[in-house]
Structure 1
Amino acid sequence: MLYNGCRYYQAWSPTLPSAWCVAFTHHDLKVLEYNQDLKDYYEVGYGHNINYQMACPLIQDAFQHLRSVVEGEGGPKGVFYFTHSVALLTMMTRLGLYQDRHPLTHLNLDPTRQWRTSLHGSFAANVAFTLSHCPQHQHKWWVSLVEGERGVGLEGCEGQERGCTWDEWVQVVSRFLPCNLTHICALNQHQQQQQQQQQQQDNHHQQKPAPISVLWGMLKWLVTLFI
């Protein structure tokens, strides 16, 4: 509670001292920040594949809107969605942003780590895909990714912060499109077998008759109750 009060107050008034923060040393705050990063890393980040696989529909939606313009089908000038930071973090992870060379663990508080939700998962976090048309350029269509109002590069795009050519962008997103959430979220055969075995065991325990000693004890209790 104290840490939450400290970080919320600091976010609201970054230039003012906070009474909530005096309970912590600078090292304490670094450790607590890393604790939150670890939690997010394994709940919505690179800790488990399914975390970021579920963000595929968000990227597919952006791709379809951009493609409709490139192919001359037209469309709105802008499409805006408002969501929770969890959706943004999973989408950033799906795009390969802020991935460290080694998985984060409780044994290594790396101050130079890329996965810092204080920086890219904070209040007012935002992600934008922008489409630019350059008729005189060899590559007429460019896609740029902006996170936190800063240009970021994508693996597979030579332009890095300047963006991707349309062909590069198609190659980037084709790695995980089209989406099939039913397949992503379905249990595999081994998990299904384990679940069925557990259900059978639970049913067996529920149907198993009570021992004679238990029944005899209940009978004596009832006799005592009515005497």
Structure 2
Amino acid sequence: MAAPRTPLPLVLLLVSAALLAAAPLSPAAETGAAAFDVRRHLSTVTRYDVARGSNSVSSAPSMSDECRVIHLNLVARHGTRAPTKKRIKELDRLAVRLKALIDEAKQGPESDSLKKIPSWMKGWESPWKGRVKGGELVSEGEEELYNLAIRVKERFQGLFDEEYHPDVYSIRATQVPRASASAVAFGLGLLSGKGKLGPVKNRAFSVLSESRASDICLRFFDSCETYKDYRKRKEPDVEKQKEPILEHVTSALVNRYHLNFTPKDVSSLWFLCKQEASLMNITNQACQLFNEAEVYFLEWTDDLEGFVLKGYGESINYRMGLPLLKDVVQSMEEAIVAKEENHPDGTYEKARLRFAHAETVVPFSCLLGLFLEGSDFAKIQREESLDIPPVPPQGRNWKGSVVAPFAGNNMLALYQCPGKTDGGKISRDQKSSYFVQVIHNEAPVSMPGCGNKDFCPFEEFKEKIVEPHLKHDYDALCKIRPVAREEPSSFSSRMSNFFLGLFSQKGYRVSAQDVKSEL
């Protein structure tokens, strides 16, 4: 049996006790689902079909049958990918580490402890052993985008009746191969049967890309020095906030399997679980090491990281996406002008389809005000800090498996309605009313900035959702600024206050200073 672990610091013990007290007794306690499926709890490593199947966000259509879609914007993440080179090396190191832990256990005095070691762990090697390249789109990812395109074509049938032209159906991707490959897979599904190539009558199509160094529309995070500076400063802070949960899970696994795991081991095992479940549909190996409550908490640590470093944790995370938001609005304005001036079909753009990354989709969702809690939309309009996502077993809107799974996407459909309807604000003596519908992972969502309506008048969409962001300028936002001393409302302070309140509810006595020093 592994040697007893060094006693955890007092605050860490209190955190562990609080987590145990808060742990749900069953998955139904958090999700209301009939059966627990770890594949639904893999944060941004979740497969698209799994995420779409568990998407509880829905809205009944409220538009007149006389309205028709005239333009579509799509912002999509690449499909399911293989582990990156860095992660492949981590799994190779994990294999060496597991062998060492098992060898250590064999030398212990209690032979019965060996029976607790999962059989798959003995002699385990990484499925990606020997790979020197990684991060590419896998076949499952190709299918995700191909099938998405077929459903989009069926959903907006009248929009894609035109003969293909790159100026009518613009397809864009970043220069990262998995993003451009996703664009190709989508294009194959969208244009299947539209050409003369091969038995399925494919046709060639154009995918546009900009240099990584200058692509501020889809890779704005690469060029934003302010964001890179913020992330560099915050990453250690986030890791510190995750420590109590990792320590808690580590202690549980040591007692359960009699192997002397470290938090680093547990982090790698959780990553292995996500890769096995997502890419290989294997849930009875690494994933089975954790019980349901531990999966909920580990998922939360991933979601916390995404929230702080990519989402609402700091306004620079999404303000830097302004070039993309402007591009989306401009494309809709051009479509409206074409309709108002009676341009013939085939002479103006009908769809702008973009394929990028989680770092693109998440900020764009934030700019639209999606996945907020309660009155948070008013807070982001005032650029106030938001609270971190609620800890399990409390429910939360911010879940990586919903916000940005593999192939996760936002579609903005622009509708033209005859006449000047009561809900539509008209500008420039327009003949028609125009409405925007936001569709996330193929489910219509209500917009907090538009009175929680699912169809928002275009002028109101610009006024309430877009214009508050336009007071900023990308070039001004993204230059490096001096690091200011953190105020009491900083992320670290909010985390400390959260745990302090949690301990108080459980009857523990601990000072804020103690929490801060340990977290």
Is TM > 0.5 for Structure 1 vs Structure 2?
yes
> In the TM superposition, what is the alpha-carbon distance from 1:176 to its structure 2 partner?
1.1
- Percent identity, aligned pairs only? 24
- 1:164 corresponds to: 456
Indicate whether 1:51 and 2:317 are aligned: yes
TM-score, normalised to structure 1, is 0.74
Q: Any idea what the Cα deviations from partners look like across 1:87-106, whole Å, max 9, x if unmatched?
A: 1011111221112355117x
Taking structure 1 as reference, are residues 155 and 82 closer, same or farther at Cα in structure 2, changes over 3 Å only?
Answer: same
Q: Any idea what the Cα deviations from partners look like across 1:48-69, whole Å, max 9, x if unmatched?
A: 1111111111111000000011
Separation in structure 2 between the aligned mates of residue 24 and residue 5 of structure 1, nearest angstrom: 12
Local SS of the residue matching 2:415:
strand
Separation in structure 1 between the aligned mates of residue 301 and residue 452 of structure 2, nearest angstrom: 34
Local SS of the residue matching 1:92:
helix
- 2:284 corresponds to: 18
Aligned CA RMSD, in angstroms, stands at: 2.5
- 1:130 corresponds to: 413
Taking structure 1 as reference, are residues 11 and 111 closer, same or farther at Cα in structure 2, changes over 3 Å only?
Answer: farther
- 1:218 corresponds to: none
Listed as ranges, the gaps of 5+ residues in structure 2 are 1-267, 375-385, 425-432, 486-519
Q: Any idea what the Cα deviations from partners look like across 1:30-80, whole Å, max 9, x if unmatched?
A: 111000011111101111111111111111100000001112376311111
- 2:388 corresponds to: 104
- 1:66 corresponds to: 332
* Equivalent residues, number: 189
Amino acid at match of 1:151: P
Separation in structure 1 between the aligned mates of residue 290 and residue 316 of structure 2, nearest angstrom: 35
- 2:368 corresponds to: 95
TM-score, normalised to structure 2, is 0.34
Q: 2:440 aligns with which of 147, 168, 176?
A: 147
Q: 1:2 aligns with which of 269, 278, 285?
A: 269
Local SS of the residue matching 1:134:
strand
Amino acid at match of 2:447: L
For residues 157-196 of structure 1, the aligned pairs below 5 Å read 157-158=450-451, 160-161=453-454, 163-171=455-463, 172-177=465-470, 180-188=473-481, 191=482
Local SS of the residue matching 1:156:
helix
Separation in structure 2 between the aligned mates of residue 28 and residue 117 of structure 1, nearest angstrom: 17
Q: 2:349 aligns with which of 76, 82, 101?
A: 76
Residue pair 1:60, 1:178 contacting (<8 A) in 2 also:
no
Taking structure 1 as reference, are residues 49 and 156 closer, same or farther at Cα in structure 2, changes over 3 Å only?
Answer: closer
> In the TM superposition, what is the alpha-carbon distance from 1:13 to its structure 2 partner?
5.9
Indicate whether 1:36 and 2:311 are aligned: no
Local SS of the residue matching 1:79:
strand
Listed as ranges, the gaps of 5+ residues in structure 1 are 195-227
User: Does 142-151 or 2-11 show the bigger shift?
Assistant: 2-11
Amino acid at match of 1:31: F
